[in-house]
Every structure is written in structure tokens, then in C-alpha cells.
């Protein structure tokens, strides 16, 4: 995407360049492009990454696209015009833009490009020899969610409140076209089938990773179905799960009365979700390890190498086809 320089400057200014820099004796630096810093997980990641950069002597210049794909693409164009060859850490608004972006790189560049958190295709990574992806397996997170839920159901054989012979399930999902949302959802349902749990998705909505939409859609589900016909709520991330829990709490559910409880699950293990699990308001979450993700990103910037074995040794994780997968782990309340 190309526009005149004046417009590009305007776009960057409108994005509120977060020129927070972490200075140290070493002059290593990187540009970080976030899809949206109002996303609870991304906001938490930013805090941890900033701290990690400071400790490791990396100067981070950060940009918030505020969920605007066009603005992000223009900011990335400007970054490419910088001849300093600064590494770019990119959390894309639209993952489908990754291929177009790499195709726009100067032919003689060796700049390190690290996509993180939002997946890109194998073909994209193969198209440029210094492109990498650091993130997680969406299927793994969905599987862990389902395993937490199955354990709960086995411990509570009376979960079928309306005695219809199936688990009545509410699904709150990310964007309709977002691959992580699709795969997380598919894996939850796949594991329920594998475990012989008969279920019916009685309400499904794309709450787009947002707390408020999670709250609003949960309220719609309650209004249309009534509490007796909702037996579990599975959300593609914690922000939506916390919205759903906040809605349930206003009706006296998931508080102190054990008879007013609906298991709710999320993904990310943001601080609010961890607290909700500890308090018994939330059944469980799957930890998307922002600390390890930050450590890997900063280490890769410091190394600035194309050697997969060297990267793997430094971060303590395998590098497979230029991908580094940060392991998930379960956090749950023994209800």
C-alpha cells in the first residue's frame, strides 16, 4: 500500500506512536507493531516486553495500530524506508497482509522480521529467509480448554440441569475469519466428541476478543435461553470470558451460591482471569505465556541470526520451519 509521504506522516501521528524507548549502554533496538493495545493480553504482553527489553538492553519503539489494518500497513511502509535495518516485531491486525508486506521488502535487505502472537502461513515464512513466527498452537489451547471442562463434567455428573441428555454450550469466539478463533473452537468440540460428551451449541457469537462484547452476548444468551439451559461457556480468550462472568455475576451466578454456577473457560491467563479462577468465579483458563514470549522475542533481537540451531539453544525451545511455539499450560479451579 503506497501513499504520499505527507499522508503517511499523518497516519503515523494518528496512530499515536508510542515512542517509549528503553535505553541502555548497548545500542540494540527494535520496532514493535501491536495490532491493538486495548486487547487485554496484548496490553499485558507490552508491559512484560518493555521490562524484558530494559533488562536486556534493547531499545524498543512501539506502535499501536488500534485494530486499523490500513494504518498499520502504512506505518510498516515507513519503517521499511528506514535504512538502519532495525528488526521489526509485528503483531498483525490482518494476518493475510504478511505475504504482501514481505514481498515489498527491498531485494537486498537482510532485516530481521518476527511475526508474533497472530499466526502467518508457512508459505509466508518461506518467502523470506529472515522471517520468523513466535506464538502458540491454537489447537493446543482449545484442547486444554476442553480437557479442563471434561474433568469438571466427570466430577459433576449432574451437570445436565435441564435433563435433555446433552451439554448445552455457549461459545464466545474471536473474529469470524481469525484462524486462531476457528481452530480453538474446532478443537474444543473435537475433544468433547473424543471424550464421548454429547453437546449442543445453544448460543454462538463472535465477540471479537472483547470484554464488552463478551458481556453483551452473554446477556443475550441468558435472556434468550434462561440459566437452566446454559451448562457451560467456552470463550476463545479471557477478555470475553471475563465479560461473560461479569454478566453472570450481576444475576448472582458464579459467586458464593454453589447452586448458581456455570463453568466458564478462557485462554491467555491474564491477571483478571487468574484472580477469577482463584476466587472460584471462573473454572479455568489456558496460560498464553507472555513472559516466555517476551523473552524469546528479545533474545532473537539480540542474536539477530538466521541460524535456527543457535536460536533454539538460546531460547530453550525447538525451532521448526522458522516457527517457535510457546507451550501452553492449564490453570483451573478444582470445583
pLDDT for 15-42, tens place per residue?
534 444 433 344 699 999 999 999 999 9
pLDDT for 73-92, tens place per residue?
999 999 988 878 999 999 99
As given in the structure block, the three cell numbers for residue 266 are: 478462557
Q: What is the pTM of this model?
A: 0.85
Q: Please name each of the domains of the chain with its CATH number.
A: 5-136+289-327 (3.40.50.2300), 138-287 (3.40.50.2300)
Residue 199 has pLDDT above 80, yes or no: yes
Quickly state the pLDDT bin for 274 (edges 50, 70, 90): very high
DSSP assignment string, 245-287: HHHHHHTTTTSS-TTS---EEEEE--HHHHHHHHHTSS-EEEE
Helix (H, G, I), strand (E, B) or coil at 157: coil
Containing H/E element for 90?
Answer: strand 88-90
For the residues 320-332, what does the mean pLDDT come to?
A: 96
**What pLDDT is recorded for position 335?**
59
**What pLDDT is recorded for position 23?**
38
Quickly state the pLDDT bin for 107 (edges 50, 70, 90): confident
Beta strands in 107-198 (DSSP E): 113-116, 131-135, 167-173
Q: At what angle do helices 290-303 and 40-56 cross, to 10 degrees?
A: 40
As given in the structure block, the three cell numbers for residue 333 are: 479451579
As given in the structure block, the three cell numbers for residue 38 are: 486495548
For β-strands 284-287 and 329-332, DSSP reports them as antiparallel
Task: Tell me if 293 sits within 8 A of 103, measured CB to CB.
Answer: no
pLDDT for 123-182, tens place per residue?
999 999 999 999 999 999 999 999 999 999 999 999 999 999 999 999 999 999 888 999
Amino acid at each position: 500500500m503506497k501513499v504520499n509521504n505527507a499522508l503517511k506522516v499523518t497516519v503515523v501521528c494518528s496512530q499515536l506512536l508510542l515512542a517509549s524507548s528503553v535505553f541502555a549502554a548497548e545500542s540494540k533496538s527494535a520496532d514493535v507493531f501491536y495490532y491493538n493495545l486495548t486487547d487485554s493480553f496484548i496490553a499485558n504482553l507490552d508491559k512484560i516486553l518493555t521490562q524484558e527489553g530494559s533488562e536486556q538492553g534493547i531499545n524498543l519503539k512501539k506502535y499501536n495500530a488500534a485494530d486499523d489494518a490500513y494504518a498499520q500497513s502504512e506505518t510498516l511502509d515507513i519503517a521499511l524506508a528506514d535504512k538502519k535495518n532495525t528488526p521489526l516485531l509485528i503483531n498483525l491486525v490482518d494476518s493475510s497482509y504478511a505475504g504482501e508486506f514481505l514481498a515489498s521488502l527491498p531485494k537486498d535487505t537482510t532485516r530481521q522480521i518476527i511475526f508474533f502472537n497472530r499466526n502467518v502461513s508457512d508459505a509466508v515464512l518461506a518467502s523470506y529467509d529472515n522471517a520468523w513466527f513466535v506464538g502458540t498452537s491454537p489447537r493446543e489451547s482449545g484442547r486444554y480448554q476442553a480437557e479442563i471442562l471434561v474433568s469438571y463434567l466427570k466430577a459433576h455428573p449432574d451437570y445436565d440441569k435441564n435433563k435433555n441428555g446433552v451439554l448445552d454450550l455457549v461459545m464466545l469466539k474471536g473474529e469470524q475469519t481469525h484462524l486462531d478463533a476457528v481452530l480453538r473452537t474446532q478443537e474444543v468440540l473435537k475433544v468433547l466428541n473424543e471424550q464421548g460428551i454429547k453437546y449442543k451449541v445453544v448460543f454462538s457469537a463472535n465477540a471479537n476478543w472483547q470484554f464488552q462484547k463478551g458481556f453483551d452476548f452473554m446477556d443475550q444468551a441468558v435472556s434468550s435461553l434462561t440459566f437452566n439451559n446454559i451448562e457451560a461457556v467456552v470463550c476463545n480468550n479471557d477478555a470475553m470470558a471475563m465479560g461473560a462472568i461479569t454478566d453472570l455475576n450481576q444475576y448472582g451466578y458464579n459467586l458464593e451460591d454453589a447452586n448458581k454456577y456455570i463453568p466458564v473457560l478462557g485462554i491467555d491467563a491474564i491477571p483478571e482471569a487468574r484472580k477469577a479462577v482463584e476466587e472460584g468465579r471462573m473454572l479455568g483458563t489456558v496460560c498464553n505465556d507472555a513472559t516466555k514470549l517476551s523473552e524469546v522475542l528479545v533474545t532473537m533481537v539480540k542474536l539477530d541470526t538466521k541460524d535456527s540451531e543457535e536460536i533454539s539453544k538460546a531460547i530453550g525451545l525447538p525451532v521448526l520451519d522458522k516457527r517457535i511455539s510457546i507451550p501452553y499450560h492449564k490453570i483451573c479451579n478444582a470445583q
